[in-house]
Chain A
Amino acid sequence: MVDAADSVLPCICGTGELIAVGSDIRKLSLLLLFLPFSLWILLLIILPHVGMVVLSLREKVAPRVYEFGFGNYIDFFMEPIYWNTLIRTGLMSLLVTFLALLIGFPVAYYIAKLAGNRTKGMLFMLCLIPLWVSDLIRAFGWILLLRESGIISSFLMSSGLIDTPIEFLYTDATVIMGLVYTVMLFMIVPLVSTLDGMDNAMIEAGYNLGGNGFTVLRRIIIPYAMPGIVSGCIVVFMMTAGSYLTPILMGGKNSSWFTEQIYDQFISRYNWESGAAFGFLLLAFTSVVVWLGLKLSGQTLSSTVAKS
């Protein structure tokens, strides 16, 4: 028996840090631990983002002369290509997220609940392998498979199914497939870890109490896996919306992904002010979507992503 109240009390009131330490030492060590954290968050996350917002609010009125104003944002909303691209990026990212969930959930369920202990570990590792390979190589692999002179096209030719080579690349469907592929693991890993923590007896009880496969899935498994689902969806959505390589390489120059616009403003046109505005818009847009998703699913950021 654990003497619960006895052992909890010191934890509430002590530091959990080593015991009976002078409070000065305790404060000092807390401060020392806080230092790297605050430097990191302040210098590399907060300040750059504040800087980005400030930069985005500068309008170029003449060479090397700037004025405060919303011109960059106004430009964005006045030019349909820009905001169309943002909307398109958002919608396609949602589609990718949904597809990744749809395809990944059964696989995660299989790994967590159906596979034997040995196969489970092996399958999970197999799932992780592409994670360790760069986006670039994965996209490169798809290109070799799907392009006009690629493996699939050649294979279909030699088997006599088609007469002329087919170009599978540079379509929206290819981009979506490539993105689903790229982010799949970030969906499966949180799903497997939540489903793994679920007691099989809960599912058995669901059947035992008269549920059929569908009710058990809807009433027991999915609610239980919700934190994992939401966590996977958030990460996948953000990754998709922020991805750059896959749309460019698999969708070609016409893939119209919003990150391309940012790159374009920054690197090609050297218009940092408008690039910063675009970056802030992307961040705001994706954050709003994630926030909406959290509200709709009744989860919080700390109960999902932060838990993994």
Chain B
Amino acid sequence: MTEHAFDLECIDVSRQFGSVRAVDNVSLSIPRGSFFSILGPSGCGKTTLMRMIAGFENPDHGDIRIKGKSVLKAAPNKRNVKMVFQHLALFPMMNVHDNIAYGLRCAGVPAAEITRKVQDVLERVALPDVAKRDIQQLSGGQKQRIAIARCMVLDPDVLLLDEPLGALDLKLREAMKIELKLLQHQFNTTFVYITHDQSEALVMSDQVAVMNQGRFEQVGTPQMLYQQPETAFVAGFVGDANLWHGKVESMTELGAVLRTPAGTALQARLAGSQRCRVGDEVNIYTRPEFMSVLPSGGETSNNAGTRGTAGADNVLEGRVDSVLFNGANSRLLIRTAEQALVEADVTLTGGSDDIKPGEAVKLQWSMQQTLCFPASAAQAS
């Protein structure tokens, strides 16, 4: 491997604000040309981490390397890391051309070349005719693309994006997700994308780092994060999940049997590298799409009207509290005997066999789809 294999590396980076450890010993290395997301809730330190990469903050210790070279000594205006801001920060007093030309002018590029480069980058973001427009005349999606063009015209080593889709409405946000991914392919530049929205991170990224309380919980492909969460936080934060709390009663070859405070016995497999012993407090997670919903008293292998094809390691009786209709992604809220609400995905066809509120149902799901984490590590709600 050459030293340029990674466009961006952070090594043991920490940053403390007063008594708060905003970023706590974070290390990452991002290969060339990939789309890397940092996903985490508000206040998890992801913005601070990005501001350190851009140079707006200095780490208390650790090193940040771009293309193998440490940039800690470089001022933000000397780093070849460009940033798309949360509210884009397009300069309102300049038109599109001047916004994009700003960085080139700062670098002292000759005027003729500026014109050519600006036109070139505008074509690449598919907005060839807006150069003379004012920023205020652009639509939300166009502003987005101009903000990216303004950075890309400088040919950065890494492009940082700080929740740039946050201000857009839902429809546009969905469209922009795809567009961002395409732009990243086209420019073939490393994108580091900060977001608290898991669907943005999952859809666009090659790799996602889930961040919580200043630390990386897990780094991996979107599939890995979703299917094999290594920590309770990741299990709870990425995707939806039902959560039970309980005490381990016995350990089997495949996993653990635990009992909830209300007395229900549930089976779960241990997630990732987690360990636990009999008597430990644990939390277990199951995704709504893995739950099968059957009419009460029906046979356990009957899957009618549900999506799950799972086995029946765990079974719960309950009553449908409400139906959240959303076409193919409809969901049931089921109140179980112990008065907990459990979510389960169903497909509602509109036929007479659809489940209705108030019906008594049986829930069943496989222990393979049930992940167990020691409770001490669980922070997610």
Chain A interfacial positions (CB closer than 8 Å to B): 1-7, 9-10, 12-14, 19-20
Q: Which of B55-63, B139-147, B287-295, B346-354 touches A?
A: B55-63
B46 touches A3 (CB 8 A): yes
Q: Which chain A residues border B166 with CB–CB below 8 Å?
A: 1-2
B46 touches A6 (CB 8 A): yes
With beta carbons under 8 angstroms apart, the residue of B22, B42, B55, B58 that contacts A4 is B42
Interface of A is mostly: helix
B86 within 8 A of A: yes
Docked complex Cα distance between A4 and B57 (Å): 17
B163 touches A19 (CB 8 A): no
Q: Which residue of A lies closest to B18 (CB)?
A: A13
Residues A19 and B57 in contact in the complex (CB < 8 Å), given A1-B42, A1-B163? yes
Tell me how far the C-beta of A21 lies from the nearest C-beta in chain B, rounded to whole angstroms.
Answer: 9
B163 touches A10 (CB 8 A): no
Q: Which chain B residues border A12 with CB–CB below 8 Å?
A: 17-18
What are 10 pairs between A and B in contact, CB < 8 Å?
Answer: A1-B196, A3-B86, A3-B196, A4-B42, A6-B22, A6-B44, A6-B46, A13-B17, A19-B57, A20-B76
Tell me how far the C-beta of A11 lies from the nearest C-beta in chain B, rounded to whole angstroms.
Answer: 10
B45 within 8 A of A: yes
What would 8 more interface pairs be, CB under 8 Å, given A1-B42, A3-B86, A19-B55?
A2-B42, A3-B47, A5-B43, A6-B45, A6-B47, A9-B20, A9-B22, A10-B57
B17 touches A9 (CB 8 A): yes
Tell me how far the C-beta of A2 lies from the nearest C-beta in chain B, rounded to whole angstroms.
Answer: 7
Docked complex Cα distance between A14 and B18 (Å): 11
Q: Which chain B residues border A13 with CB–CB below 8 Å?
A: 17-18
B278 within 8 A of A: no
B57 touches A3 (CB 8 A): no
Tally of contacts, chain A with chain B, CB under 8 A: 54
Interface of B is mostly: loop
A2 touches B22 (CB 8 A): no
B189 within 8 A of A: no
B177 within 8 A of A: no
B47 touches A7 (CB 8 A): yes
Q: Which chain B residues border A9 with CB–CB below 8 Å?
A: 17, 20, 22, 48
A3 touches B42 (CB 8 A): yes
B337 within 8 A of A: no
Q: Which residue of B lies closest to A21 (CB)?
A: B75
Q: Which chain B residues border A6 with CB–CB below 8 Å?
A: 22, 42-48
